[in-house]
Amino acid sequence: MLVEDEDRKRFLNTINSLLKPKGKLLLISMGDGEIERKTEIETAFDLQERSHMKSGKTFEVASTSYRAINWKNHREELEDAGFIVEKIMNTENEEYSKCMTVYLTKD
């Protein structure tokens, strides 16, 4: 996951540069658009104890990095990268739970 601001900026700028003028992009990010938080990237891949929500079983798994951003800041970073934000939606699925989905175009 892209946690640091500079990494996120570079990713969005790269995606924008790959699109042709009037190109379209559907971008889905984990998060509910309200809560902001980020993990320490230095601990990514360290073993952590986790509980499986459905079964209640506990197991060890390599940690990951994670960044949740709110809608205001997400819209700003997308516009700063040169995207036109056509539509924003809160979505949910079994794999990632709550997600922020945006439909973008390049001017």
pLDDT in 10s for each residue of the chain, 107 residues: 678 899 999 999 999 999 999 999 999 999 999 999 888 888 778 898 888 877 889 989 888 888 899 999 999 999 999 999 999 999 998 888 899 999 999 98
Give 67's contacts (C-beta < 8 A, 6+ positions apart). 1, 2, 3, 8, 37, 38, 39
Partnered with residue 84 across adjacent β-strands are 105
- Of the candidates 27, 13, 2, 19, which has an alpha carbon nearest to the alpha carbon of residue 80? 13
What is the pLDDT at residue 53? 74
What is the pLDDT at residue 6? 92
* pTM reported for the whole predicted model: 0.80
Amino acid at 44: A
What is the pLDDT at residue 1? 62
Reading the block at residue 90, the tokens are 């809160």
Reading the block at residue 101, the tokens are 């989905």
DSSP code at position 85: E
Structural domains for the chain? 5-37+70-106 (3.40.50.150)
Q: Contact, 32 vs 41, CB < 8 A?
A: no
